[in-house]
Amino acid sequence: MYDPVVSRRLLLSILGISTTAGCMERLSGESESGIRLGSVRIANTTDETHRVDLLIERNNEIVYRDTSEINATDEVWIEPAWSSEPADYDLYFVISGVDELQVANVTNLHEEETAGDCLFADVWIVDGSERSLVMAKDVEEQEEAGCNF
């Protein structure tokens, strides 16, 4: 069962963890490498409604934090309000029913064969799985995906 207090505590606990993660590489605040991250899609492939607490970090700075409710077999798109300059991106999220902090480094998910100037993060809630599937895809692959150029 989803417990908003537990989810908030998990997200608050990552703030302490994330502020030190990668500090040595990111002291300047700007990345020499990285990706251009556009939209983020959370797709619920299950037969149950789920709440997702999501935090997005760009070069170790929080650029998004909110909770979304995603109906069964539905999806939610989060439009980018962050900079379009290349950077390193991390997603921290807690899904109701799993109530475990999950972390995905979107920059590392990017595969060499994925072409395009901008990528979107694709988070899939999968029935019977403790972990969600997270991918990075070219925004050109999905009509709803956008980039903040």
Whether residue 132 is contained in a domain is answered as yes
What are 38-58's pLDDT values in tens digits? 999 999 999 999 999 999 999
Under the banding of pLDDT at 50, 70 and 90, the label for residue 2 is very low
Whether residue 110 is contained in a domain is answered as yes
Q: Quick count: other Cβ atoms within 10 Å of Cβ 141? A: 12
What are 112-127's pLDDT values in tens digits? 545 678 999 999 999 8
Separation of alpha carbons 113 and 106, rounded Å: 15
Whether residue 120 is contained in a domain is answered as yes
Whether residue 103 is contained in a domain is answered as yes
The pTM of this model reads 0.78
Q: What is the CATH number of the domain that holds 40?
A: 2.60.40.3110
Please tell me the total count of domains within the chain: 1
Domain that holds residue 98: 4-19+33-141
Find the radius of gyration of the CA atoms of the chain. 15
Whether residue 82 is contained in a domain is answered as yes
Whether residue 148 is contained in a domain is answered as no
